[in-house]
Structure 1
């Protein structure tokens, strides 16, 4: 059992993730800007926790003391304008990493995006989103000493999860993935040492999640 802070717990992936973690008997701090967003949640393993990404790292760190791992699942999805995207997907992510180091939390999993390493695929209104994800990933890998996992899912869908995925460490893949399966992969990654210090792309595939992670 782990004590895990999920930042962005009210997001489409975050909502699924906190329930999966609870079902695994992990204790979850569901980090949201407004805890009222989770008033309909009645689960003794999930604690709604006010977590405002606009605050300074020193303040955010106070919410992280005593936890085992952090998942950064917050994100604008590129739909809230470039300014908000940079403040949440980039600066919010970096401040969360800095806060983790202040609080002494080592494990940090971030939900990124496929193609963040390929600027030729940054097109249209999504360019600020990809840029934010790219530099947040780079900060995590190169400017921290955190024990990281970077999950880069393909196009997200609301289909029912299958539990069957394809994980790749190269960028020459394309495809989609159900949000439910993203959440399952993140949850499994937290309990699998094969995923530490790793970056991988995630799309729907043919392998059970645990088998795919163990082959990384």
Structure 2
């Protein structure tokens, strides 16, 4: 499967490229800077495409079977960049997939989007993520929305907890584990139409995803 990874130079996305390659897929990295091309090829990307979420990027969708949207401004940027990337960029990516006939769409979202008002510090970020998720749910795409907790740079544990909404205090997960989840579900039909939160837990990833 040819999988377009939007936001390919991000930390989770870079792990996802490696995991997609290991799973037998052909990851295509969408990046803004051509200088990143060689570095991403070393991770296992089959191809790269230069495109910017803040402009037209129809050409990135040619001959693509699925999209993983992993772009993000981060919770500490200004509201203007969050709107342009996490909200408007995501909406454009969804609409482009519909227009270009790419049916499978995996969204990397965030815990906290169920009720952004519970967070004062990054509420603008969570609102943008929620609105993008809601737009995807209203689309005709075969979507899956993945909402991880706070991300760490620890090595993958390959053990997770997966629920529609997790009620916990320890809400962390490694970036590498999130990437493993993304690479797994891209062709796991049982996750189509599902939205779930994911944290490190006590269940092997494949087994946890099979419960969805």
Same fold (TM over 0.5): yes
Specify the SS of the correspondent of 1:39: helix
1:109 aligns with 2:106: yes
Q: Output aligned runs, 1:43-192, within 5 Å.
A: 43=42, 45-56=45-56, 60-124=57-121, 126-142=122-138, 144-174=139-169, 175-192=171-188
CA contact (8 A) 2:156 2:174 kept: yes
Residue of structure 1 equivalent to 2:191: 195
CA contact (8 A) 2:30 2:60 kept: no
CA RMSD of aligned residues (A): 1.4
* 1:75-99, Cα deviation, whole Å (9 max, x unpaired): 0112221100110000000000011
> Cα offset for 1:104?
0.2
Count of residue correspondences: 210
Quote the Cα distance in structure 1 between the aligned partners of 2:29 and 2:163: 29
> Cα offset for 1:191?
2.1
Distance 1:45 1:127, change over 3 A: closer
Q: What runs of 5+ residues in structure 2 fail to find an aligned partner?
A: none
Specify the SS of the correspondent of 2:60: coil
CA contact (8 A) 2:41 2:47 kept: no
Residue of structure 2 equivalent to 1:213: 209
Quote the Cα distance in structure 2 between the aligned partners of 1:66 and 1:173: 41
> Cα offset for 1:33?
1.0
